[in-house]
């Protein structure tokens, strides 16, 4: 069942721009955030924090792509990418980290070296 979904490029869960979530999100699929999430996020696949989104949460995911505002500690099992509009405050732990020109970042980096 889950394998069928893997072929879809679209995220399975989308948090829209006017949505505010206070609590814990656990997803065995991809998650795209355009709104606001506070609390804790655990994603089995890709987490995308889009431009305009605000996340104040500890995050764990396979890959994390940030183009919005993210406050909290991030563990990306595979890859963390901060796009040009990203503003991130918190510790980042990931074997691969990409920070684009223009992105803001404050915190520790742990690449397990």
Residue numbers at the binding site for another protein (CB under 8 A): 2, 5, 11-31, 34-35, 39, 44
Q: How remote is the C-alpha of 22 from its chain's centroid? A: 16
User: Which is closer to another protein, CB of 25 or CB of 82?
Assistant: 25
Q: Which is nearer to another protein, 22 or 101 (CB)?
A: 22
Smallest separation (angstroms) from another protein to the CB of 67: 15
Decide whether 65 or 92 has the Cβ nearer to another protein.
Answer: 65
Parallel/antiparallel/unpaired status of strands 87-89 and 69-71: parallel
Beta carbon of residue 59, minimum distance to another protein (angstroms, whole number): 15
Q: How far is the CB of 62 from another protein (least distance, A)?
A: 14
Residue 36 or 99 with smaller CB distance to another protein: 36
In angstroms, give the least distance from the CB of 68 to another protein.
14
For 25, 62, 86, 95, 113, the CA distances from 30, given in Å and listed in that order, are 12, 9, 19, 20, 28
Ordered DSSP codes for 1-58: -HHHHHT--S-SEEE-TT-EEEEEEEESS-EEESSEEEEEEEESSEEEE-TT-EEEEE
């Amino acid at each position: 069942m889950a394998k069928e979904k893997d072929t879809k490029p679209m995220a399975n869960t989308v948090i829209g721009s006017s949505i505010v979530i206070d609590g814990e999100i656990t997803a065995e699929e991809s998650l795209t955030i355009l709104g606001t999430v506070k609390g804790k996020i655990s994603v089995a696949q890709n987490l995308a924090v889009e431009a305009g989104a605000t996340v104040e949460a500890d995050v764990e995911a396979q890959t994390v792509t940030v183009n919005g505002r993210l406050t909290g500690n991030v563990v990306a099992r595979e890859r963390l990418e901060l796009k040009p509009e990203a503003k991130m405050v918190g510790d980042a732990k990931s074997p691969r980290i990409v920070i684009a020109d223009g992105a803001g970042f404050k915190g520790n980096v742990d690449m397990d070296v």
